[in-house]
C-alpha cells in the first residue's frame, strides 16, 4: 500500500503548494475508519481508497478530489458521518464524498427501466460537481484492475456494467486512456479467449515483422527534423478490445486489419501541428476519407487533435494524431483538465472545457424526457456517438453525432426551426429528411408556418434533443385531442343518466378522481385512463349503482358449480341473450364463449372441459363491454353525433381508439357497455342509418390474431 508520504510526493510532483498536512490527516482518518475491514483479496480495505487517490494524481487533480478519494467509502461503509467529515475536512469534501456515496448506491446493472432512472440520477449527481464522477471512475478502474478476487458471476456483472456505462462515460468525458483500459479490463472478463487470441496474434506479428513501432517512430522523427519541426513522437499498438471491435465492425480477420498501430506527434504550437501534418503526408501516402481536423472543429468535451491515416512500411496503415502539449493534456484527462494543477497553480489550459457548460449541454436534452427507456437509449447514443460537422448557409458550424439527419440539424439550430421543418437542401440540392449527413456538408433547412412535428420523425431523428422535442410536441397535440374526445365522452355519459356535463359537474369529478383540473380529467378520459362510467359515478353515484331488480354480473350465468366463477372471453365478448358455451381453465374458473365463436374449434378434442351454461333470464345492467368497428367520414361534428347516438341508445362508451386515419375517412374501435344482444342490434341499426357512418360491425378476433391461454 502506498504510504502517506509517497502519496503526498505524487501530488507534490504537479502541485508543490499542496496542503500536505490535510492530505495526511485524511489518510490517517480513512485508515482508522476502515481498520479491520478487508477486500475480497484479503488485503486491508484501505488499500483501495489509497489506490483510487493515486490514480487521480495521474490526472493532476486538486487536493479536495484527492482527499475525497481517500474518504469516498467512509460515510457508506464505516461509522463516519457526513457531519464528522464536514467538520474535519470542510463542506466541499463532505459534499463530494456524499456524492460518490450516492453514486455507489445506484444499482446501474439492474433492470432496464430502473437502470434508466438511475442513469438520470447519475447525471444529476454529475451536474452538481463533476469531480464526483471522476472519483467514481477511478474507483471503478481500480476495482476492475483487482476484479479477479470476486466471484465469477460478480465479475461478469461488473464487467458488463463497466462496458455499458463507465467506459463510454469516460470516453464521453474525453478520458480516452481510461475508456480504453476499462474496456480492455472488462473484455478480459467477458471474452478472455478472444482477448488471448488477439494477444497471441500480436506476438506472432511482432516475431514476423520486428519492432514496427520503433522503426516508424524513428522515421517520423527524421522527417520532422528535416522540416525543422520540434516535436515528440510516440507509438503504440492498440488495445485488444479496440482491435476486437474493429474486427467485428469490419467483419475482418486479424490478418486483414491494417490500422492496429497508433502514433502521436506532440508539437510546440498549433502552427507546427499543421506543418507536421504536411511533412507526414509528403513522406507517406494519406488514406482517403480517414482525415479529421478536431483542432479547427473541436469536440464538445474540449478534445482537439488532427487525425490522419497513412500507408506506412509494407503498405501497412497507421493512424497518426497530431496536437500541441496543451491539447494533449486535455486529450489525456478530458473534462478533468479543468481541475488540473501544474507547478502549484491551477492549469490555465485554454482548451479545457468548462465542466458546468459541458454537463449542461449533455443533460439539457434529457431533462424533459418522460420515457425512461427512451432516456437511457438517448444517453447511450450520445455517449457512443462519433461526430460530423455541417455548416449553416451563413457558415456557422453545427456539431452532430454520426448518422444525423436534416431533422437533427434543424433542432440543433433551434427547437422552433426543427418543429417547423418541411424540407432541407444539402449542398444546394433538395434531399429527403431521412438523408444521413456527412462531414463538411452545407445544410439549408426549409420551414413553413403551421408545420408541426410528425410521428414519422421519431424514426428519422437520432439526437436526444430532436427526439425529446418531437415527443413533447406530439404529447401536447395528443393532449388537445384527448381533451376534446374526453369532453364528447363525458357529455354522452352524463346524458345517458339524464344529466349534463356542466363545468361544475366536471370540476366535482376532477376533485373526486384526484385530477389537477378539468382538462386533466378530460385528457385522462380521452386517453382511456379512466372510463366515462367512473366520471359519472364520482358525481352521481346513486344514478350508476344499478336498479335493484337487475341481475348482478357475478350471478349472470347459470350452470356453474357452487363457488365456481366465470369471465367473458375477450375474443367474442358474448352478451346476455346469446347462446354460450363454457370452457374450464385450471385456476381461472370458466371462460364463457359465444356458441359461434371460432375459438371453440381449438377445444374440439377436449370435450371434458366443455360446460353447458346459459345466461340468467331477466334484466341485466349495462355492464358488458362490446367492441364496435366503425368507419366514419372525416368531417366536423361527426364523432360528436356518433357519441350522441350511442348515448341516446342508453349505451355507455368506455373506450375509443382510432386505428386508421385517411384524408376522407377514419376507422375506429369503440368499446360500449351494453345490457344484452338486443341492445347491441338496436345500436348497430341506429349507427348504420347515420349517413356519415360508412360501415359498422361487431369486432371479433380471428383465431390467428390471439390465442386464449389454456
Give catalytic residues, as residue numbers. Answer: 76-77
Cα–Cα distances (Å) from 44 to 40, 49, 689, 695, in that order, read: 9, 10, 85, 78
d(CA 237, CA 320): 12
- Chain centre distance of CA 2: 40
3-state secondary structure of 339: helix
User: Looking at residue 621, what DSSP letter applies?
Assistant: P
d(CA 41, CA 188): 18
619, 547 Cβ separation under 8 angstroms: yes
Cα–Cα distances (Å) from 702 to 575, 597, 598, 602, in that order, read: 18, 9, 7, 12
C-alpha cell at 672: 360500449
Beta partners for residue 429, in sequence order:
426
d(CA 323, CA 270): 7
d(CA 337, CA 60): 8
In 115-246, at which residue ranges do the beta strands (DSSP E only) sit? 231-237
472, 465 Cβ separation under 8 angstroms: no
C-alpha cell at 446: 426549409
d(CA 85, CA 68): 10
How many CB atoms within 10 Å of residue 523? Answer: 22
> Which ranges constitute the DSSP H helices of 513-624?
518-526, 532-539, 541-544
- Name the burial class of residue 606, with classes exposed (0-12), middle (13-18) and buried (19+) by CB atoms within 10 angstroms of its CB: exposed
C-alpha cell at 700: 371479433
- Chain centre distance of CA 591: 41
Cα–Cα distances (Å) from 569 to 419, 466, 621, in that order, read: 45, 43, 18
- Chain centre distance of CA 327: 31
d(CA 616, CA 580): 11
380, 467 Cβ separation under 8 angstroms: no
Geometric angle at alpha carbon 558, from 553 and 560, rounded to 5°: 100
Amino acid at each position: 500500500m502506498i504510504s502517506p508520504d509517497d502519496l503526498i510526493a505524487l501530488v507534490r510532483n504537479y502541485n508543490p503548494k499542496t496542503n500536505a498536512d490535510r492530505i495526511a490527516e485524511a489518510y490517517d482518518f480513512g485508515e482508522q475508519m476502515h481498520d479491520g475491514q478487508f477486500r475480497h483479496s484479503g488485503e486491508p480495505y484501505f488499500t483501495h481508497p489509497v489506490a483510487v487517490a493515486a490514480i487521480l494524481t495521474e490526472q493532476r487533480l486538486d487536493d479536495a478530489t484527492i482527499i475525497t478519494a481517500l474518504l469516498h467509502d467512509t460515510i457508506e461503509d464505516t461509522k463516519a458521518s457526513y457531519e464528522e467529515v464536514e467538520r474535519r475536512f470542510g463542506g466541499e469534501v463532505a459534499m463530494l464524498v456524499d456524492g460518490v456515496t450516492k453514486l455507489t448506491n445506484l444499482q446501474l446493472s439492474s433492470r432496464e427501466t430502473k437502470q434508466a432512472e438511475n442513469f438520470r440520477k447519475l447525471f444529476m449527481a454529475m451536474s452538481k460537481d463533476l469531480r464526483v464522477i471522476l472519483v467514481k471512475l477511478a474507483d471503478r478502474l481500480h476495482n476492475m484492475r483487482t476484479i479477479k478476487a470476486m466471484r465469477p458471476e460478480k465479475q461478469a456483472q461488473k464487467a458488463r456494467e463497466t462496458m455499458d456505462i463507465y467506459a463510454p462515460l469516460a470516453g464521453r468525458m474525453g478520458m480516452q486512456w481510461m475508456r480504453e483500459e476499462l474496456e480492455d479490463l472488462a473484455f478480459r472478463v467477458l471474452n478472455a479467449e478472444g482477448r488471448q487470441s488477439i494477444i497471441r496474434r500480436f506476438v506472432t506479428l511482432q516475431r514476423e515483422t520486428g519492432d514496427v513501432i520503433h522503426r516508424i517512430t524513428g522515421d517520423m522523427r527524421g522527417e520532422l527534423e528535416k522540416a525543422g519541426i520540434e516535436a515528440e513522437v510516440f507509438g503504440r499498438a492498440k488495445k485488444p478490445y479496440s482491435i476486437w471491435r474493429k474486427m467485428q465492425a469490419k467483419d475482418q480477420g486479424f490478418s486483414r486489419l491494417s490500422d492496429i498501430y497508433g502514433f502521436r506527434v506532440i508539437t510546440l504550437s498549433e502552427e507546427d501541428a499543421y506543418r507536421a501534418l504536411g511533412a507526414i503526408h509528403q513522406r507517406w501516402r494519406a488514406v482517403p476519407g480517414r482525415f479529421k481536423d478536431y483542432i479547427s472543429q473541436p469536440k464538445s468535451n474540449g478534445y482537439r487533435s488532427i487525425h490522419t491515416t497513412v500507408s506506412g512500411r509494407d503498405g501497412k496503415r497507421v493512424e497518426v494524431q497530431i496536437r500541441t502539449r496543451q491539447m494533449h493534456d486535455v486529450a489525456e484527462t478530458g473534462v478533468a483538465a479543468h481541475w488540473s494543477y501544474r507547478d502549484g497553480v491551477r492549469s490555465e489550459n485554454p482548451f479545457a472545457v468548462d465542466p458546468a457548460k459541458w454537463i449542461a449541454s449533455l443533460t439539457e436534452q434529457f431533462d424533459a424526457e418522460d420515457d425512461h427507456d427512451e432516456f437511457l437509449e438517448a444517453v447511450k447514443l450520445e455517449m457512443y456517438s462519433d461526430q460530423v460537422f455541417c455548416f449553416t448557409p451563413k457558415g456557422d458550424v453545427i456539431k452532430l453525432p454520426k448518422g444525423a439527419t436534416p431533422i437533427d440539424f434543424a433542432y440543433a439550430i433551434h427547437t422552433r426551426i426543427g418543429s417547423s421543418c418541411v424540407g432541407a437542401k444539402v449542398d444546394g440540392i433538395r434531399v429527403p429528411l431521412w438523408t444521413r449527413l456527412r462531414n463538411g456538408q452545407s445544410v439549408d433547412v426549409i420551414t413553413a408556418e403551421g408545420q408541426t412535428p410528425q410521428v414519422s420523425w421519431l424514426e428519422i431523428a437520432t439526437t436526444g434533443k430532436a427526439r425529446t422535442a418531437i415527443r413533447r410536441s406530439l404529447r401536447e397535440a395528443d393532449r388537445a385531442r384527448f381533451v376534446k374526445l374526453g369532453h364528447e365522452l363525458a357529455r354522452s355519459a352524463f346524458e345517458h343518466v339524464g344529466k349534463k356535463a356542466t363545468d361544475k359537474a366536471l370540476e366535482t369529478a376532477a376533485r373526486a378522481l384526484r385530477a389537477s383540473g378539468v382538462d386533466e380529467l378530460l385528457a385522462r378520459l380521452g386517453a382511456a385512463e379512466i372510463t366515462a362510467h367512473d366520471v359519472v359515478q364520482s358525481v352521481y353515484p346513486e344514478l350508476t349503482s344499478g336498479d335493484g331488480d337487475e341481475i348482478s354480473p357475478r350471478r349472470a350465468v347459470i350452470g356453474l358449480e357452487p363457488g365456481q366463477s366465470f369471465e367473458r372471453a375477450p375474443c367474442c365478448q358474448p352478451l346476455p341473450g346469446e347462446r354460450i358455451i363454457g370452457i374450464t381453465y385450471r385456476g381461472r374458473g370458466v371462460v364463457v364463449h359465444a356458441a359461434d365463436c371460432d375459438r371453440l374449434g381449438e377445444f374440439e378434442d377436449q370435450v371434458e372441459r366443455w360446460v353447458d351454461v346459459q345466461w340468467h333470464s331477466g334484466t341485466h345492467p349495462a355492464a358488458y363491454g362490446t367492441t364496435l368497428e366503425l368507419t366514419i367520414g372525416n368531417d366536423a361534428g361527426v364523432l360528436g353525433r356518433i357519441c350522441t347516438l350511442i348515448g341516446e341508445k342508453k349505451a355507455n362508451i368506455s373506450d375509443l381508439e382510432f386505428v386508421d386515419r385517411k384524408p376522407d375517412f377514419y376507422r375506429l374501435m369503440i368499446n360500449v357497455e351494453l345490457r344484452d344482444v338486443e341492445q347491441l342490434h338496436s345500436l348497430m341499426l341506429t349507427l348504420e342509418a347515420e349517413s356519415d357512418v360508412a360501415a359498422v360491425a361487431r369486432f371479433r378476433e380471428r383465431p390467428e390474431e390471439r390465442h386464449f391461454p389454456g
